[in-house]
């Protein structure tokens, strides 16, 4: 199996998509001549030409809507929103059009569109450029939201997103692009709506997604040294959510901590905890807890910024608290 970075895995997926369908185009800000803000589409313009690798003006609502229209017309476009912060300018098109076109037309329209975007903080970019907003979109029926945490899932989920007839928000994390891991050689996909057991364990379930999955895995390492066997569940998709895998895990471990990067208040962890309470309450030996981002606009200054994002130590601490008598 080859070792690929997260960035390379996404590139493989994009190149497969461009090869598979002549009506697949990539459009977004600086995806062409610049090579992509995170260099994911570097070299594509030279290889595929400006008909298919389309630099757009800075008009998020305009070009996301154009992608939706092209998809409704039957093309298979990929739209890149440079970061999820800028998706707010396209939220009307995503929420009011992409998510509703099929339902509101009584099934006459489909929107086979993949929207790639980048989430997360940790780059000293301050409050407007450090948000994790994917959970907002995960509340909207009619779209799907996937959040790969490693190269293999990145490629497998990208393939599924391209094969899906619905609008899919494919959310990447800026701090994961350089992470490297084995990616299977043979054709495979990761189905949308399937969580994974990223690390098996017996004493507690740590449920995470996107960059919090590696954080949770580090916490599990710390805890193992202390004799606590933590199972790490990587959600991989937020919508649809694979609650079955969560519930199965909690039924075995009887304890759970949910980790996410975004603000704790009203976050996605709250939804996961509600589902555990509804479906696995009798299995619980302790309340389900969460570790999430601090409820403040992200500050620029490094020492302050670091306080806002969950760390492995903070996750380990929260897990330890479940075992104190």
Partner 1 sequence: MSTQTDLTIPRAELLTLLRSMKLIRRFEERSAEHYARGNIGGFLHLYIGEEAVAVGVISLLREDDRIVTHYRDHGHALARGLDTAACMAELFGKATGVSGGKGGSMHFFDVSRGFMGGHAIVGGQMPLAVGLAFANRYRGQDSLVVCFLGDGAVNEGEFHESMNLASLWQLPVLFLLENNGFGMGTRVERASAQPVIHRLADRHNIRSRRVDNGQDVFDVREATQTAIDYIREGNGPYFLEIMTYRFRGHSMADPLEYRQQHEVEPWLDLDPIRLLTARLHESGLATPDEIDTIDADVEDEVNAAIRFALESPFPSPDELYTDVYA
Binding site for partner 1 (CB under 8 A): 23, 25, 51, 56-57, 59, 61-75, 89, 92-93, 96-97, 101-110, 112, 141-142, 144, 165-166
Contact 260, 212 (CB under 8 A): yes
**CB neighbours (10 Å) of residue 43?**
12
CB atoms within 10 A of CB 291: 26
Nearer CB in complex with partner 1: 74/227? 74
What is the closest distance, in whole angstroms, from the C-beta atom of residue 317 to partner 1 in the complex? Answer: 40
The two beta strands, 256-263 and 230-234, are: unpaired
Nearer to partner 1, 150 or 166 (CB): 166
Alpha carbon of 260 to those of 2, 52, 227, 243, 311: distances in Å?
30, 36, 24, 16, 10
In the complex with partner 1, which residue's Cβ is closer, 100 or 320?
A: 100
DSSP line for 34-94:
S--TTSTTTTHHHHH-TTTEEE--S-HHHHHHHHHHHHHTT---EEEESSTTGGGGGHIII
What's the closest the beta carbon of residue 163 comes to partner 1, in angstroms? Answer: 12
Nearer to partner 1, 72 or 78 (CB): 72
Q: Which residues are catalytic?
A: 60, 129
CA distance 163 to 112: 8
Instruction: Give the nearest distance from C-beta 59 to partner 1 in angstroms.
Output: 4
Cβ atoms of 258 and 208 closer than 8 Å:
yes
């Amino acid at each position: 199996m080859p070792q690929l970075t997260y960035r390379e895995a996404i590139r493989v997926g994009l190149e497969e998509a461009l090869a598979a369908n002549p009506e697949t185009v990539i459009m977004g800000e600086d995806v062409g001549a610049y090579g992509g803000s995170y260099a994911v589409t570097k070299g594509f313009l030279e290889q595929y030409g400006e008909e298919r690798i389309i630099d757009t003006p800075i008009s998020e609502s305009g070009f996301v809507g154009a992608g939706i229209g092209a998809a409704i017309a039957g093309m298979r476009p990929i739209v890149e929103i440079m970061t999820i912060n800028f998706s707010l300018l396209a939220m009307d098109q995503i929420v009011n059009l992409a998510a509703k076109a099929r339902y509101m037309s009584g099934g006459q329209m489909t929107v086979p569109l993949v929207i790639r975007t980048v989430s997360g903080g940790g780059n000293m970019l301050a409050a407007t450029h450090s948000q994790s907003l994917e959970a907002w979109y995960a509340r909207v029926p009619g779209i799907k939201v996937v959040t790969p945490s490693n190269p293999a899932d990145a490629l497998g989920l990208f393939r599924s997103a391209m094969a899906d007839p619905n609008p899919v928000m494919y959310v990447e994390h800026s701090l994961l692009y350089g992470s490297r891991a084995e990616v299977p050689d043979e054709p495979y996909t990761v189905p949308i709506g399937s969580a994974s057991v990223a690390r098996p364990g017996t004493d507690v379930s740590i449920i995470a997604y996107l960059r919090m999955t590696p954080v949770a895995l580090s916490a599990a390492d710390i805890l193992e040294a202390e004799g606590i066997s933590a199972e790490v569940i990587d959600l991989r998709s937020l919508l649809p959510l694979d609650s079955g895998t969560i519930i199965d895990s909690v039924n075995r471990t009887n304890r759970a901590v949910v980790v996410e990067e975004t603000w704790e208040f009203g976050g996605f962890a709250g939804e996961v905890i509600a589902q555990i309470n509804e479906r696995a309450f009798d299995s619980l030996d302790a309340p389900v807890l969460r570790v999430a981002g601090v409820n403040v606009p992200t500050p620029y200054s490094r020492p302050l910024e670091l306080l806002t994002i969950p760390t492995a130590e903070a996750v380990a601490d929260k897990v330890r608290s479940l075992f104190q008598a």
